[in-house]
Structure 1
Amino acid sequence: MSGLPRVPAAYAGAARSSVRVTVAAAGGFYLFLYGFGETVAATYALFGAVSLGGLSRIPGTGRQRAVVLLRALPVALLLVVVGTFLAVRTASAVAGMLVIGFALAFVAVGGPRPAGVAPGLQLLYILPSFPPYAPDTLGERLIGSAVGILLLVLAEATLFRDAPTVSYRELAARAAGVAERCAGELARPPYVLSRAAGDAAGAAAQTLRPSRVPEADRPAGPGVRSRALAHTGLAARTLLNRLHRLPAVPEGRTPAEPGLDLLRAVARSTAATAALLRGAPGSGTASPARERAALAAARERSADPVALRRDAALLEVADAALALSTAAGLAARGRSAGPEPPLGRFWYARMRAPRLWWRRLIGNAGSRSVFFQNAVRISLALAAARVVAGLDTLPHGFWAMLATLSLTRTTLGATRSVIRQAVTGTLIGALCTAGILALVGTDTTVYAAVLVPLLLITFTVGPVKGVGWAQAFFAIVVSLVFAQLAPTTWELAEVRLLDVLIGSAIGAVFGLLAWPRGAQREVRQSSAALLKSAAEAVVATASTIAAGWVRDPASPPRHASLRRTLVLAESAFAQFQAEPRVPTAGDRARTTDWQAVLLTGHHALWGADRLLAAPPPPEGGAPGPVSVPPLDPEAAAALTRLGDRVAGRMLLLAARLESPGDALGAADVPPEGTSPAAEGAPPTVAGASPAGTSPAAEGTSPAGAPGRYYATETWLEALLADLDRVTDGGAPLKAP
């Protein structure tokens, strides 16, 4: 056995998927055509399985895909009904294609699974929207579609079960466990992290990056639990980073007890969070809120700059731990979780699913959203193809629309490359089909015998070898299917080639006219816009704290621009991950870590919200407006300078992100000899103070500054470190 050649993993996975699709498609087709003599039901059974099993790319294991398919079944049947009745006229069919085509493509904002099933649903709507207008066959169409999809559900759930993946909840639970270990070490002598704990913190943080997580397990949906799980991952990464960057205790000193109590509370909280995420019965959501309040009160009585700075860093740790426990509770229990969370950070916590979906849709309803761009592009292309297909001179116009749907890409370059391969493959397939039809003639027994192995080959080779091979084999498959439904000649192959050429041309035209650069350009623009909005928030927050302000708990959340640009940047990044990219020299050197840009935006928003939040009311008092006095001139000037420096760094990166090329310029990379890996220290910014130091440690901190000065300074320095990770390729944390 060891001497047998090993099948590549890509072919093995494609073969398993091919068997599932073939069993469902051929089973339904043969059942209705040869068992009951129903050609309409046979056609819809085959295309029902092929559309959702072959054209759709639903991520996840077989059982996960089966659940998605069951949920999509009512939608699929509704689309068959609508398509059947709108086929009465070309005008109504085209209008339906515009509206429904846009809606099905735009539903990709709901995450990878809706995005994966959308192309198959498009095909199931396209199929009945062609002449002949035959509402009397609606029952057969619905029965055939339902049987084909249900057979696919059974095949996905039972055949070649996939190995289970590690869920995002489990990854977050593991990260919380690592944070517990780190907090425990920092609360014990010698009050520093071991190298093993630092390495574990860096590795755990990296596992939570979306690019490292299978599509099906990414928390990308609009619902409360999905949003909260994504928030859990961000909070876990933030907490691990804050624990790793905690300033060391000066030699010869013993940490103050309130700080140690807080670290122990963080350890208890993260342990409870890990248990909660794993579904442990009776697991609570321990919170370091009481210890945080005690440390904040003790800080007000201190005048030691070193102690104040460490206390500020500890409060950052506490806030990250509080965010983690709150987000984990929402992820595990939904809207019924615990007490009322902070609305600024967890604005979605008490909203119902329809409202959250509406907010997601509205947030992407604009030309800057790549989901909106894709939906407009595909709906216009399908409508144009339906207009052309409505001409009497274009037989089998369905194939032209299928080509438009399957060959249109998000970039002009990708569309051009795909079309070239598809036309070549279709030409080869048409020649083979013409030969088969000419030799076999009307002997349907041969076609029936060849269809199953041909389906297996098509759905095994096509996904691995590319669109050219897929089109070649699929051209033969559809010809053999139609040859069993009605007498055909070799001219059917010529019609198939003509339709693919027409569909490809339409896809190329709309790829050229509608945002031809896809998300590769948009991710740069949206990330740059995010950094610009973050810079505005940083300057506004630093100046507000320096000048003093009145904070009313009833006032609406600040920084609306930053919140919106975060939504658009996350959408662009999600689409960018799915687009093919041509390797460049910059990819082989230091490249931009787009996910680190998003993390920087989140940190800017969370920190600004936290620092400008009203202090808690006195015991027994009612919450109300609170006047916060200004800083003294020296502290205000120092804080304003630091805020301007952080904002300037953000604007510099924004300008670089908008420039051509995949990698940032050398000016954005720390100088030689100062890299984190070389020094064995956490990432630092070129020109900024090393981790664990600050202007005060260098003798530049204003004397007698209050605690809120150090809290703001710590936040700004953490943002500088976050920005450095953008240009450092997102390198994992290094142990000190």
Structure 2
Amino acid sequence: MFGTSLLGRLRRRDPGGAVLRRATRLTLVASLVFYGCRYGAGSSTLATYGLFGTIAAGSFAQLPGPAPQRARILVLSLPAVWVLIAVGSLLAWSTWAAAAGMLVVGFVVAFAGVGNPRLVGLGSAFQLFYILASFPPYQPGTLPERLAGVTVAIVLLAAAEVLLWPDPVPVSYRQRLADAADGVAAFLHAAAERLTDPHAAAGAQDRQRQRAYDVVAATELDRDPPGWAPTAAGAQDRALRICKVALREVLAEADRLAADAPPEPIPDLAAARLLRSCADTTRAAGRSLSPGAPAVNPADLDVAVERADAEYPVGTSGVREAVDVPRLCRDATALALAGQVRVFAVGCRVATGARLDAEDASVGLFEYARRGPWTLYRWQFRSHLAPRSAHLQNSLRLAVALAIARVAAGLLQLTHGFWVLLATLTVLRTSAADTRTALRPAVLGTIVGAAVSGGVMLVVDEPIAYAIVLPVTLLLAFGLGRLLGPVWQQALFTLLLTVVFAQLSTEGWRLAEARLVDVVLGAVIGVLAGVAMWPRGAGYDLRANATRYLSANADAVEQTVHAVLGAAPPPDDALNRVRRRMVLIDSSYCQYHSERHDPRHEQVNWDAVLSAGHHVVPGAEALLRRNPPGCLAGWPEAEALLRDSVGRLRSTYRAVADEVAHGQTPHPTPPATTCADQLDRIRPLLGEADPRSVRHLVEVDRWLAGLADSLAQVHPRSSM
């Protein structure tokens, strides 16, 4: 019964068998390397670095992507591994020199993940390579053996990734985005049909709408494995993130347009024709993300926009009754939707490496695509060199903790001092609460493992016995232990280390005692560092960054409106501030998902907070392309109306930011009314207005209404 229950538990925790496959690959490679180096070549140094190179690269490194990509990353990482081992070996002559090196290496390796979060998984492995080499004995002459052992291990592990039971390739993020584009396109076609015939296929449209929302929700970054989410600073990943936001905005605009369907059929409606062209472009752009597909060309959409622009109804000057306000609003919404579709199409071109033409209307949003990759990474690093950067705080915390652990291990002259740093690296988390949570299984598992190991070593003192059971302990530590939980994992890992070092030294049962002392010391250092340095974790930083982010968005909205009124220059600086703060809040948000959440802070829907801000930047740029600065200058009534609207919206931003900063429940603002109701207050202004100015007023007012609608979503998930 127990065996059946255990097997069922393992299947539930590893339904696809990925953990057991990887554990088996690691076991085969580690055993081959260790046996060949220790007993074949007769070198303890080769065996030590070969085995720990396999464990570091195969277990501690969480690599992204399919098997060929993981293998390529392993091989390409070899120069960095050689440098870390060489530096550690040369600094091992002095405790203080090794600790200073640990401080620098710890920070640089951790902070390097800013450029590409998908490669953060390599950080722990890189730290281990330096840690292992920086401890006595100081033997620079063994450096060739050390490098050779690690190189053989990594090359064999890379080959095993490709040749031995490769993991199935999950659905890529690009495919998810293509599926979402197809679902949104179907909804756009249904919405266009409903505009020309409100009584046709209402049920079908509802089904298409629900499917569109489902597939767009599947493009959220936390729905994909970390190795597949587009989180890097490179041009293509940034384009994919913009595509995701643009597609969500297309769906939101389509929903508003569908809600404003006329009560009676309107044949040959310009908005419907434009909507169909948007649907075709959206579907084509999504399909262009597939490997080998041709790049999307938004030329047909541009023609449809020009045609809709020419047919834009503005009425006759002086004849207020001639203005078809509902159609005016529907066409304004359709043009705004087309702008977001064009952003999506251009983003797909950048994401697939297609050339971005200089005359492209959306080039402002993708200006970064003209920069080289090193420039983009430099911008990313510079953005995170700020006190509120979660990456900066994490990197400093980890570097200081590891340096202190290295000093403690050196001053106490611990035989296996690198276990102290390994324990610190294992226990330390991004918040004090998570660090305390990791402490108990680490210490408890080590106690259990040390007790079992010590008992075994008192009874068995033949190295050949430990050589025989090495593959079994490897499979248990990295397969069964990982599936059963952290206590089991730590206990079995302790047993594994005992089995390994029983073949490399003659310490006997004292090896288990040393392991226990080292782990307790390292865990204490990790806990103290977690409590002393930014103990509140990403939750606190997320609230602070969200407050500044929302305030920056409010400034950008206000300056955008002042620009169209001719009272201020274009809000380039304000939009750049939003972009910079977007980097920090995204970083805090990603880290927040990896922590235990304080129930008091669960009152905020963080997805909605980020979406409210994402609505501003592309929206403001698209608005200013169609409504240039000063287009509403000299119309006092429109100026008074828009200043009143933006003032109330700014107050809402400020109120939501204040509530988010204090962890309170944001009070939802009243949802936006229908298009015609929203424009009722504009009707009195239409009498003597210039037709083009009426159009500009409608588009600006609808943009502000959409922003208010986004802010209305910032409320607890439980009440949604």
- TM-score by shorter chain over 0.5: yes
In the alignment, the residues of structure 1 paired with residue 520 and residue 156 of structure 2 have an alpha-carbon distance, to the nearest angstrom, of 33
Please, which moves more after superposition, 133-142 or 592-601?
Answer: 592-601
Which one of the candidate residues 97, 103, 109 is aligned to 1:104?
A: 109
In the other structure, the counterpart of 2:122 is 117
Which one of the candidate residues 10, 31, 35 is aligned to 1:30?
A: 35
Query: Deviations for 1:17-45, whole angstroms, at most 9, x for unmatched residues?
Result: 21122122222111110111011111111
| Aligned residue runs from structure 1 range 308-387, under 5 A | 308-333=328-353, 336-339=355-358, 341=360, 342-387=362-407
Task: Output the amino acid matched with 1:228.
Answer: A
- Secondary structure of the 1:176 match is helix
In the alignment, the residues of structure 2 paired with residue 21 and residue 506 of structure 1 have an alpha-carbon distance, to the nearest angstrom, of 30
Q: TM-score by structure 1 length?
A: 0.88
In the alignment, the residues of structure 2 paired with residue 19 and residue 657 of structure 1 have an alpha-carbon distance, to the nearest angstrom, of 47
- Secondary structure of the 2:367 match is coil
In the other structure, the counterpart of 2:717 is 729
- Offset at residue 202 of structure 1 (A): 0.9
In the alignment, the residues of structure 2 paired with residue 371 and residue 643 of structure 1 have an alpha-carbon distance, to the nearest angstrom, of 35
Which one of the candidate residues 642, 646, 650 is aligned to 1:643?
A: 646
In the alignment, the residues of structure 1 paired with residue 380 and residue 521 of structure 2 have an alpha-carbon distance, to the nearest angstrom, of 35
In the alignment, the residues of structure 1 paired with residue 662 and residue 617 of structure 2 have an alpha-carbon distance, to the nearest angstrom, of 25
Would you say the 8 A contact 1:93–1:129 is kept in 2? yes
In the other structure, the counterpart of 2:318 is none
In the other structure, the counterpart of 1:488 is 507
In the other structure, the counterpart of 2:263 is 251
In the other structure, the counterpart of 1:702 is 685
- Offset at residue 349 of structure 1 (A): 0.8
- Offset at residue 373 of structure 1 (A): 0.8
2:209 is aligned with 1:198? yes
* 1:629–1:586 Cα change, 3 Å: closer
Aligned-residue RMSD, C-alpha: 2.6
In the alignment, the residues of structure 1 paired with residue 13 and residue 356 of structure 2 have an alpha-carbon distance, to the nearest angstrom, of 42
| Aligned residue runs from structure 1 range 428-467, under 5 A | 428-441=448-461, 443-467=462-486
In the other structure, the counterpart of 2:319 is none
In the alignment, the residues of structure 1 paired with residue 506 and residue 73 of structure 2 have an alpha-carbon distance, to the nearest angstrom, of 37
Task: Output the amino acid matched with 2:501.
Answer: F
Which one of the candidate residues 177, 180, 186 is aligned to 2:182?
A: 177
In the alignment, the residues of structure 2 paired with residue 629 and residue 586 of structure 1 have an alpha-carbon distance, to the nearest angstrom, of 43
Would you say the 8 A contact 1:181–1:197 is kept in 2? yes
In the other structure, the counterpart of 2:308 is 295
Would you say the 8 A contact 2:559–2:568 is kept in 1? no
Please, which moves more after superposition, 129-138 or 82-91?
Answer: 82-91
In the alignment, the residues of structure 2 paired with residue 566 and residue 281 of structure 1 have an alpha-carbon distance, to the nearest angstrom, of 32
In the alignment, the residues of structure 2 paired with residue 365 and residue 121 of structure 1 have an alpha-carbon distance, to the nearest angstrom, of 22
In the alignment, the residues of structure 1 paired with residue 677 and residue 626 of structure 2 have an alpha-carbon distance, to the nearest angstrom, of 26
Would you say the 8 A contact 2:326–2:676 is kept in 1? no
In the other structure, the counterpart of 2:22 is 17
Identity across aligned pairs (percent)? 32
2:236 is aligned with 1:236? no
Query: Deviations for 1:476-518, whole angstroms, at most 9, x for unmatched residues?
Result: 2112211101222211211111111111111111111211111
- Secondary structure of the 1:612 match is helix
Would you say the 8 A contact 1:201–1:244 is kept in 2? no
Query: Deviations for 1:320-357, whole angstroms, at most 9, x for unmatched residues?
Result: 111000000000115x3445554431131111111111
* 1:501–1:94 Cα change, 3 Å: same
In the alignment, the residues of structure 2 paired with residue 211 and residue 282 of structure 1 have an alpha-carbon distance, to the nearest angstrom, of 29
In the alignment, the residues of structure 1 paired with residue 406 and residue 154 of structure 2 have an alpha-carbon distance, to the nearest angstrom, of 25
In the other structure, the counterpart of 1:683 is none
Which one of the candidate residues 575, 580, 583 is aligned to 1:559?
A: 575
Query: Deviations for 1:562-592, whole angstroms, at most 9, x for unmatched residues?
Result: 121111111111111222336x4885xxx53
Query: Deviations for 1:64-87, whole angstroms, at most 9, x for unmatched residues?
Result: 433332332222222112222222
| Aligned residue runs from structure 1 range 461-540, under 5 A | 461-540=480-559
Query: Deviations for 1:447-466, whole angstroms, at most 9, x for unmatched residues?
Result: 11122111111112332333
In the alignment, the residues of structure 2 paired with residue 650 and residue 27 of structure 1 have an alpha-carbon distance, to the nearest angstrom, of 61
* 1:694–1:21 Cα change, 3 Å: farther
* 1:431–1:549 Cα change, 3 Å: closer
* 1:654–1:200 Cα change, 3 Å: same
Give ranges in structure 2 of 5+ residues lacking alignment: 316-322
In the alignment, the residues of structure 1 paired with residue 632 and residue 206 of structure 2 have an alpha-carbon distance, to the nearest angstrom, of 43
In the other structure, the counterpart of 2:592 is 576
- Offset at residue 410 of structure 1 (A): 0.8
- Offset at residue 392 of structure 1 (A): 5.3
- Offset at residue 63 of structure 1 (A): 4.0
In the alignment, the residues of structure 1 paired with residue 719 and residue 270 of structure 2 have an alpha-carbon distance, to the nearest angstrom, of 33
* 1:150–1:573 Cα change, 3 Å: same
- Offset at residue 137 of structure 1 (A): 0.9
2:400 is aligned with 1:397? no
In the alignment, the residues of structure 2 paired with residue 724 and residue 200 of structure 1 have an alpha-carbon distance, to the nearest angstrom, of 23
* 1:647–1:455 Cα change, 3 Å: same
- Offset at residue 408 of structure 1 (A): 0.8
